[in-house]
Chain A
Amino acid sequence: MDAKRYELNIQLAQMLKGGVIMDVTNVEQARIAEEAGAVAVMALERVPADIRKQGGVARMSDPAMIAKIKKAVSIPVMAKARIGHFVEAQLLEALRIDYIDESEVLTPADEECHIDKTKFSIPFVCGARNLGEALRRIAEGAAMIRTKGEAGTGNVVEAVRHMRTMNREIRQLIQMPVEEVTGFAKTNGLPYELALRVKKLGRLPVVNFAAGGIATPADAALMMQLGCDGVFVGSGIFKSTDPKLRAAAIVKATAYFDDPKKVLKASMGLGEAMPGLEISQIPADQILAGRGW
């Protein structure tokens, strides 16, 4: 990926700011998402809640299904590759979708290495629990970051933890004298040059979305008020009782995240949200955020 291509890829993510990216598993859902005002769709065979329930190895989705969704909508189409599975990423690039999510929701293919994203022309979004993880992914060529909230739980607590952690670490970085950055970078696993850039910019140099556990308009507005640039909703929409209504409501709440009256209006009469999961009830080996590093 040359510098120009990387810039274009970061800039596509910038055009998604303030928007909602929705998980969809078929053409019909993709159309519902687009109609509701999604800025992009994530095409996958099973939403995280089902992956969690069914267990087994979760892989890249059937390319034929992704191709159908790509044909059905005019908004950008994203799809997931397993962590470290650079051939799945090559296939998704050959399929000419718009963005790849190197995702912990799928079973990792490599427990040591993430994909070398600089080798690709297609942009990547990656999950991060803290500043170090975000900057390591950016160093590998990610053009967009998202929190790594516990997918398929309908529980926003982990996404909140990740965003607060990142904000806290950025504030620390901003305030410290430059000679302390080396040690801070070493302790927290930050690539040094990127740490200096974050210190100067006062935030990540790329767009940072919320992802994982967002189930209600209020969840979306919460993540936006915590400083996210936009929101991914995975199982939250199509595992609820009225996906159409909920999708539109989350779009509204994301655009007007700082206006409680509008978020209130968007929250009314949506039917049941997806069933939620308490994080402490999930067996440790089924915690998705721990995949990748």
Chain B
Amino acid sequence: MVATRKKNNPDIIGVLDLQGGVYEHLDHLQRLGIAGRKVKRGVEFNNLAGLIIPGGESSCISRLLNIFEIKEPLLNAYGRGMKIWGTCAGAILLATKVVGETPCLGLIDIEISRNSFGSQLDSFKSEARIPQVAEQPIPLTFIRAPKIVNVGKDVKVLLKVDDYIAAAESENILVTVFHPELTGSLEFHRYFAVKCGLNPTVNIKSCSDRQWNYCSWTRLARSA
């Protein structure tokens, strides 16, 4: 299973490797037959079809982005057409407005509120149908998640739950406050890959991987 690419497009999706759930995303990309790569140095942003900013602590990742001057190469790559998907902390970094804080990258017109559900005891799993992404309900994992409280007019809401927005996208940016990489579902990774102009060859109708379990990330993590 190898991703076929549209002509003239790079076919790699990078995962920002400063802190957080990096292997979890790489694992999902691999299951879709898409080439994924850890990215943490300026030159590594060249020639990526897309970039995933993983979950972690947004205050830590934003600080590291600034210190090591990788914000600029990241923004340059975005200017050249690289799509970006932020999960949880990643969504916070991409927002133009962060409640009570200075925004970091400001690439999607949303207002987001950090750690909006409470403590770890308020973290939860649920599921929802997101017609644009998949026909079947998608499992959702919220870990000390933020809430998107407002979106601008060019931003399309993909999932609204109660009083908050959980997933949204603009032409070049995708944000989810939950963690598809912490479930067996590959749907969001497939959706993002298509957004990046890639064509995952995995059967689109059954995009949940029964082989996946919560230890799957250890497959790619460094071992003893």
Contacts and interface: CB of A to CB of B under 8 A. Distances in A.
B60 interface: yes
B60 A38 contact: yes
A168 B123 CA distance: 35
Contacts, number: 134
Nearest to B142: A8
Contacts of B24: 14
B55 A122 contact: no
B172 interface: no
A30 interface: no
Given A15-B21, A19-B19, A8 B143 contact: yes
A12 B55 CA distance: 10
B156 interface: no
Contacts of A264: none
Interface string A53-81: 00000000000000000100011110000
Nearest to B218: A201
A227 B221 CA distance: 9
Interface residues of B, number: 43
B23 to A, nearest CB: 8
Interface of B: 17-24, 40, 55-57, 59-60, 63-64, 67-68, 88-89, 114-115, 118-121, 123-125, 141, 143-144, 179, 182, 214-215, 217-219, 221-224
Contact of A18 (B18, B121, B179, B223): B18
B182 A11 contact: yes
Interface of A: 4, 7-12, 14-19, 34-40, 70, 74-77, 93, 96-99, 121-123, 166-168, 170-171, 174, 197, 201-205, 227, 229, 248, 251-252, 255-256, 262
19 contacts: A8-B141, A11-B182, A15-B56, A18-B22, A19-B56, A36-B63, A39-B57, A70-B119, A74-B59, A76-B144, A96-B121, A168-B224, A201-B215, A201-B219, A203-B222, A203-B224, A251-B60, A255-B64, A262-B68
Given A74-B114, A255-B19, 4 more contacts: A15-B57, A18-B22, A19-B20, A174-B224
Contact of B60 (A39, A203, A205): A39
Contact of B21 (A14, A38, A97, A255): A14
A227 B224 contact: yes
Contacts of A4: 125
A93 B217 CA distance: 28
Given A11-B141, A18-B18, A170 B224 contact: yes
Nearest to A17: B20
A279 B159 CA distance: 56
B64 A98 contact: no
B119 A96 contact: yes
A8 B124 contact: yes
Contact of A12 (B67, B120, B125): B120
A203 B218 contact: yes
Contacts of A96: 118-119, 121
Contacts of B56: 15-19, 39
Nearest to B60: A37
Contacts of A93: 121
A123 B122 CA distance: 12
A274 B64 CA distance: 25
A121 B124 CA distance: 12
A182 B28 CA distance: 34
A197 B59 CA distance: 34
A15 B59 contact: no
A255 B17 CA distance: 8
Given A74-B114, A122-B121, A15 B223 contact: no
Contact of A76 (B23, B120, B215): B120
